[in-house]
């Protein structure tokens, strides 16, 4: 079977708001083509980005309960805040974290939102196991990927996932903690889950900074394998 084609673009370091609007532009273009029955040879887009310090919360999140600091404090530590149109609760994005935004026309794949979320988790589980011999785990009733080395029986979340899907087109995606400064998670209840530790690849491997570029290549390969796609670079 012929592989599905996705346009790939690495946005480098970019503000959340600017990236959100760019995602929405690509998302809306796919929907408009679907509405007008215009055929498209590509199945969507896949973006990588690294954001400056920002807290984002899903449309049904609980800011008053899960953001633990004031707006003045956020200004003091130079962190932005956005209420978004994705699912899920509050999370942190920042330097050293790899963000992946798949903007997919699910008509090319399958029309099942739960299956899509599970496959995003599978991408991370595959990446962690194949490249670092880390066993990523799911948690029943939760979305995301955790790590548990069995020493104290307490799992740590290494990847958060939050998406939007409309007319079977996706946007938003996953946030993988690579070299992330985990102190920023102390000011929120991450994903609205109390008493939940957050970790990073750097912390679990007990290494100096890990090459984000190498991680990007590995995650791309895992995404290609799990979703059975081929990437071509975004045209200029």
Q: Respond yes or no: is residue 159 known to be catalytic.
A: no
231 Cβ contact partners less than 8 Å away, ≥ 6 residues apart: 6, 7, 8, 46, 220, 224
Q: 89, 91, 93: which is closest to 61 by C-alpha?
A: 89
DSSP-derived secondary structure for the chain: -PPEEEEEEEEEE--HHHHHHHHHHHHHHHHHHHHTT---SS-EEEEEEEPSSEEEE-TT--HHHHB-S-HHHHHHTT-EEEE-SSSS-EEEE-TTEEEEEEEEBGGGS-S-HHHHHHHHHHHHHHHHHHHH---EE--TT--SEEE--SSSS--EEEEEEEEEEETTEEEEEEEEESS--GGGGGGB-GGG-TT-EE--HHHHHT-S---HHHHHHHHHHHHHHHHTEEEEEPP-
Active-site residue, from 129, 159, 191, 217? 191
Question: Which residues are the active-site residues?
Answer: 191
């Amino acid at each position: 079977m012929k592989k599905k084609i996705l346009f790939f673009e690495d946005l480098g370091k970019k503000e959340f708001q600017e990236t959100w609007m760019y995602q929405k532009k690509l998302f809306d273009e796919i929907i408009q083509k679907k509405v007008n029955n215009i055929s498209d040879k590509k199945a969507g887009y896949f973006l990588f980005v690294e954001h400056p310090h920002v807290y984002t919360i899903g449309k049904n999140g609980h800011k008053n309960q899960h953001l633990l600091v004031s707006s003045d404090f956020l200004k003091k530590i130079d962190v932005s805040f956005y209420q978004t149109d994705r699912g899920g609760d509050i999370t942190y994005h920042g330097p050293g974290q790899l963000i992946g935004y798949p903007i997919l026309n699910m008509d090319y794949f399958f029309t099942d939102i739960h299956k899509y979320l599970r496959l995003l988790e599978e991408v991370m589980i595959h990446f962690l196991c194949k490249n670092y011999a880390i066993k990523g785990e799911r948690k029943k009733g939760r979305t995301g990927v955790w790590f548990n080395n069995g020493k104290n029986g307490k799992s740590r979340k290494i990847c958060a996932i939050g998406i939007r899907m409309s007319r079977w087109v996706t946007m938003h995606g996953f946030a993988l903690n690579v070299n992330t400064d985990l102190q920023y998670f102390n000011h929120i209840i991450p994903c609205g889950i109390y008493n939940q530790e957050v970790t990073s690849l750097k912390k679990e491997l007990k290494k100096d900074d890990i090459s984000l570029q190498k991680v990007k290549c590995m995650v791309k390969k895992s995404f290609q394998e799990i979703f059975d796609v081929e990437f071509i670079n975004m045209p200029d």
